[in-house]
Amino acid sequence: MSARVIDGKAVAEGLRATLAARVQALPFRPGLRVVRVGEDPASGVYVRNKDRAAAAAGFDSATIHLPAETSQDALLAQVAALNADPAVDGILVQLPLPPQIDAQSVIAAIDPAKDVDGFHPINAGRLANGQPGLVPCTPKGVMYLLRDAGVTLAGARALVLGRSTIVGKPMAQLLLAADCTVTIAHSRTRDLPAECRRAEILVAAVGRPEMVRGDWIAPGAAVIDVGINRLADGRLVGDVAFAEAAAVAGCITPVPGGVGPMTIACLLENTLDAALARRA
């Protein structure tokens, strides 16, 4: 292996400690409410980890767990109650949602000032326009990791593999705002390996286990793996074949221990930012 491994767990711990110190200095506790619908086991783990991290950093955090058969109207009523609650600064509805619920309608019902996921169309529009707003946690965490690793952003050729609204598109916007030359690649991109090989910064967010092979990577590239894929044998792998890629890349994030922990740390940062903005 030649690549430097970026320790997302350590960077996230540092950010969480900084946020905890800032929260401790406040005369109030920022309030976070995470809404979970149904019994998806992975969501259960993520929600528990969010709640624990928030409580450990001094936030007033609680999870609202609704049954899998919850109707869209009932979930919208829950969101409306949280919008109206002055003790709540941040609202997050854990995804995925059960099939009877339209996630876009639920996200659009969240008060944009409390949308700590940064998924509301108003926050997405602010990001696209270069205006201040709440930014999706995973792409925000990737930018922290790139900066912490000392990766030169201005002028760099960056490729985002994946075009989801929660990772791929905001990721591309953030890289563009940092003066990268950005390409978004996806399942219909012609000659994906060749596109990837041109990238100095490669962010993989396709949700396909170990799809990006070592010979897709430019020597010395920064490789950020957003994928979290559980294999049948129980192993957790990213979208990048780690050992192959690490033999070629300049720096690389592992899975687990790379981007994932930053998602939760950035959620806390967004909640603190939302709390301060609501009181400004």
Ligand X SMILES: Nc1nc2c(c(=O)[nH]1)N[C@@H](CN(C=O)c1ccc(C(=O)N[C@@H](CCC(=O)O)C(=O)O)cc1)CN2
* Known binding-site positions: 162-164, 228
Which position among 7, 50, 115, 140 bears the catalytic label?
A: 50
Structure tokens at 280: 């400004």
The DSSP line for 117-166 is T--SHHHHHHHHHT------HHHHHHHHHHHHTT---TT-EEEEE---TT
* Nearer of residues 34 and 275 to ligand X, judged by Cβ: 34
Q: Within a 10 A sphere around the Cβ of 154, how many other Cβ atoms?
A: 8
Contacts with ligand X by CB under 6 A lie at: 45-46, 92-95, 117, 137-138, 228, 236, 255-257, 260-261, 263-264
Q: Which residues are annotated as a binding site for NADP(+)?
A: 162-164, 228
Of 144 and 218, nearer to ligand X (C-beta) is 144
- Identify whether the C-beta of residue 151 lies closer than 8 Å to the C-beta of residue 141: no
Give me the least distance between CB of 136 and ligand X, in Å please.
7
Q: Can you tell me the distance from the alpha carbon of 33 to that of 90, in angstroms, rounded to the nearest whole number?
A: 6
Q: Which amino acid is at 7?
A: D
Q: Are strands 236-237 and 229-230 parallel, antiparallel or unpaired?
A: antiparallel
Least distance CB 280 / ligand X (angstroms) = 25
By beta-carbon proximity to ligand X, the closer residue of 167 and 218 is 167
Catalytic residue among 60, 89, 115, 117: 117
**Between 217 and 263, whose beta carbon lies closer to ligand X?**
263
Instruction: Clarify whether 117 is annotated catalytic.
Output: yes
Q: How many helices (H) and strands (E) does the chain have?
A: 10, 11
Question: Active-site residue 50, yes or no?
Answer: yes
Structure tokens belonging to residue 157: 């050729």
Q: How far apart are CA 17 and CA 214, in angstroms?
A: 35
Q: Which of 94, 114, 140, 225 is labelled catalytic? A: 94
Calculate Rg over the CA atoms of the chain: 19
Helix (H/G/I), strand (E/B), else coil: 86: coil
Residues labelled catalytic: 50, 94, 117
